C-alpha cells in the first residue's frame, strides 16, 4: 500500500491537536485522520476516520481502494456507527482482505453484517439497478470477526453510546484521549465550507423523538469536536447538534404538512438558496431529497397507524 504524505489529496487535517486531561493540556500530533474516499469521484461526500489503526465507518466498497491507499498499514479494527452501505458497505471486503480484522457494531445491526441479504434487499428498493455503481460488492462478515455492542461499553479507548433515530442500530463513539466524538449520521450532513445542515432521513428507521434524545446524549459527552461522515470535523459541537435538531424538526414538519412534490420543491429550493452549487450537489449525493421524503413519510404513516408508538 502507498505511503501517506502531506501531498496526498485524500488526507485532510493532519497537524497539531490540543489534548487535555483535567487542567493539563499538551500539544501533539493530530490523533485523527480524515480520509476522503472520493465517492463517485467526488470529494467531501463520504469520509472515513483513522485513529491508531482503527477505522471508523470505512464507507462503501467503491471507495475501499482509496481508503487503503491512504493507510500506512492494514487496519486492525472497524468501528461502525451503523450498517448503511455508505458507512459500512466495505466491511466484508475488508475482512476478506484482512482476516483478523475485528468489527464493532450495534447488536441489532450485527446479524445483517453476518448475512446482508435483508440489508441488500432493503437498499435495492431505494437504489434499484444503481446498487453496484454506488456501493460495489457487499460481502458478509464472518461471525467470529463481529463484536456486538449495546451501548455503554468501552472499546479500544472509545466510550460507546446507543444513539437511535437515524437508524435503530446506530451508535456513536467518544475517543477518551482526544475528546472527539464520531457520530455517523446523528449530527447530520454538513459539507464544508458551509455550516448549513440537513438531517438525513432515509427509510426505514427514522424516529424523530429518539433522534432528539440521541442529540442530547451526544451533547452530554461535552465533546471537543464532532467527526461527521458527511463531512469533516466541526469544532462547534453543540452548535452543530442544534443545527441538526432544527433541520430535523423543520423537515419532519414539512413532510407532515405537505405532499411529496411540495416537500421536494421546498428542500431543493433551500439547498439552492443556502449553498454554492458544488456544495448543494454534494449534499444531494449524501442525502438525496427523495430519500428524506420517503423516510419521513414512513415515520408519519407509522405514527398514524400506532399513535402510542
* 132-157 pLDDT tens trace: 999 999 999 999 999 999 999 999 99
| Cell reading at 189 | 450532513
Nearest to 280 by CA among 290, 266, 270: 270
Q: What is the pLDDT of residue 11?
A: 41
* 18-40 pLDDT tens trace: 333 233 333 344 678 999 999 99
| Cell reading at 18 | 490540543
110 has a pLDDT exceeding 70: yes
Q: What is the pLDDT of residue 28?
A: 40
C-alpha 81, offset from chain centre: 7
10 has a pLDDT exceeding 80: no
226 has a pLDDT exceeding 50: yes
Q: What is the pLDDT of residue 308?
A: 67
Q: What is the mean pLDDT of residues 11-19?
A: 37
Mean pLDDT of the chain: 91
Q: What is the pLDDT of residue 92?
A: 99
Q: What is the mean pLDDT of residues 59-86?
A: 98
| Beta-strand pair 180-182/225-228 | parallel
Secondary structure (3-state) at 12: strand
Indicate the pLDDT class of residue 262, thresholds 50, 70 and 90: very high
16 has a pLDDT exceeding 70: no
Q: What is the mean pLDDT of residues 206-211?
A: 98
8 has a pLDDT exceeding 80: no
CA–CA gap between residue 220 and residue 210 (Å, rounded): 15
User: Which residues 6+ apart lie within 8 Å of 269 measured at CB?
Assistant: none
Share of the chain above pLDDT 90, in %: 88
Per the CB < 8 A criterion, the answer to whether 162 and 137 are in contact is: no
Domains and CATH numbers, the chain: 11-305 (3.60.15.10)
Per the CB < 8 A criterion, the answer to whether 139 and 119 are in contact is: no
- Render 18-59 in DSSP notation, one character per residue: EEEETTEEEEEE-S-EEEE--GGG-SSS-EEEEETTEEE---
Share of the chain above pLDDT 70, in %: 90
The whole-model pTM stands at: 0.90
Q: How far is CA 140 from CA 116, 135, 236, 292, in A?
A: 6, 14, 37, 28
Q: What is the pLDDT of residue 17?
A: 38
Amino acid at each position: 500500500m502507498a505511503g501517506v504524505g502531506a501531498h496526498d489529496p485524500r488526507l485532510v487535517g493532519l497537524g497539531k491537536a490540543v489534548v487535555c486531561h483535567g487542567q493539563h493540556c499538551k500539544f501533539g500530533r493530530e490523533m485523527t485522520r480524515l480520509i476522503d474516499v472520493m465517492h463517485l469521484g467526488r470529494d467531501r461526500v463520504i469520509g472515513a476516520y483513522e485513529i491508531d489503526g482503527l477505522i471508523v465507518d470505512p464507507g462503501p466498497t467503491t471507495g475501499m481502494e482509496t481508503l487503503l491507499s491512504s493507510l500506512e498499514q492494514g487496519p486492525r479494527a472497524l468501528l461502525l456507527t451503523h450498517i448503511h452501505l455508505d458507512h459500512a458497505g466495505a466491511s466484508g471486503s475488508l475482512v476478506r482482505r484482512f482476516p483478523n480484522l475485528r468489527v464493532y457494531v450495534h447488536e441489532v445491526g450485527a446479524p445483517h453484517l453476518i448475512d446482508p441479504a435483508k440489508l441488500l434487499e432493503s437498499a435495492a428498493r431505494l437504489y434499484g439497478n444503481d446498487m453496484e455503481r454506488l456501493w460495489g460488492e457487499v460481502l458478509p462478515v464472518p461471525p467470529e470477526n463481529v463484536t456486538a455492542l449495546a451501548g455503554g461499553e468501552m472499546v479500544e479507548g472509545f466510550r460507546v453510546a446507543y444513539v437511535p433515530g437515524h437508524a435503530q442500530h446506530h451508535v456513536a463513539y467518544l475517543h477518551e484521549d482526544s475528546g472527539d466524538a464520531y457520530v455517523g449520521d446523528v449530527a447530520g450532513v454538513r459539507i464544508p465550507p458551509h455550516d448549513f445542515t440537513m438531517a438525513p432521513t432515509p427509510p426505514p428507521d427514522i424516529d424523530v423523538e429518539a433522534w432528539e434524545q440521541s442529540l442530547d446524549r451526544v451533547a452530554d459527552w461535552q465533546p471537543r469536536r464532532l467527526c461527521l461522515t458527511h463531512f469533516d470535523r466541526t469544532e462547534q459541537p453543540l452548535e452543530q447538534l442544534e443545527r441538526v435538531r432544527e433541520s430535523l424538526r423543520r423537515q419532519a414538519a414539512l413532510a407532515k404538512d405537505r405532499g411529496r412534490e411540495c416537500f421536494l420543491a421546498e428542500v431543493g429550493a433551500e439547498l439552492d438558496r443556502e449553498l454554492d452549487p458544488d456544495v448543494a450537489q454534494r449534499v444531494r449525493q449524501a442525502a438525496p431529497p427523495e430519500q428524506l421524503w420517503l423516510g419521513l413519510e414512513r415515520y408519519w404513516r407509522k405514527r398514524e397507524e400506532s399513535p402510542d408508538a
